[in-house]
Amino acid sequence: MSEKNFIDYVKICCRSGAGGAGSAHFFRDRLNSKGGPDGGDGGRGGHIILKGNAQLWTLLHLKYQKHIIAGSGEGGSGGGSTGANGGDIILEVPLGTVAKDAETGEIEIEITEDGQKVVLLEGGLGGRGNTHFKSPTNQSPRYAQPGIPGKEEWKILELKVLADVGLVGFPNAGKSTLLSVVTAAKPKVASYAFTTLVPNLGIVKYRDYKSFIIADIPGIIENAHQGKGLGFRFLRHIERNATLLFLVAADVDDIKKEYEILLNELKLYNPELLDKPRILAISKSDLVDDELKEMLKPELPEDVPYLFISAVAQQGLVELKDLLWKTINETGKWGNI
Q: Domain for residue 336, yes or no? A: no
CATH code where residue 190 lies: 3.40.50.300
Q: What 8-state DSSP symbol labels residue 127? A: P
Q: What distance lies between CA 115 and its chain's CA centroid? A: 14
Per-residue pLDDT at 234 exceeds 70: no
CATH code where residue 90 lies: 2.70.210.12
Q: Domain for residue 241, yes or no? A: yes
Give the Cα separation of 111 and 244 in Å (integer): 22
More confident residue, 279 or 232: 279
Domain boundary among 138, 159, 180: 159
Q: Domain for residue 337, yes or no? A: no
Closest to 323 in 3D by CA, of 202, 226, 238, 206: 206
CB 206 within 8 A of CB 257: no
Give the Cα separation of 131 and 128 in Å (integer): 8
Domain boundary among 99, 129, 159: 159
> Residue 224 sits in which domain range?
163-331
Q: Domain for residue 276, yes or no? A: yes
Residues 288, 183, single domain; the answer is yes
Q: What is the mean pLDDT of residues 39-50?
A: 96
**Strand, helix or coil for residue 37:** strand
* Reported pTM: 0.67
Tens of pLDDT, residue by residue over 181-216, are 888 756 444 443 334 446 677 888 888 888 888 888
Per-residue pLDDT at 121 exceeds 70: yes
Q: What is the mean pLDDT of residues 297-317?
A: 89
Q: What 8-state DSSP symbol labels residue 164? A: E
Q: Domain for residue 327, yes or no? A: yes
Q: Domain for residue 98, yes or no? A: yes
Per-position b or e across 59-98, b if 16+ CB within 10 A of its CB? bbebeeeeebbbbbbbbbbbebbbbebbbbbebbbbbbbb
Q: Domain for residue 110, yes or no? A: yes
CB contact set of 210 (below 8 Å; sequence gap of 6+): 325
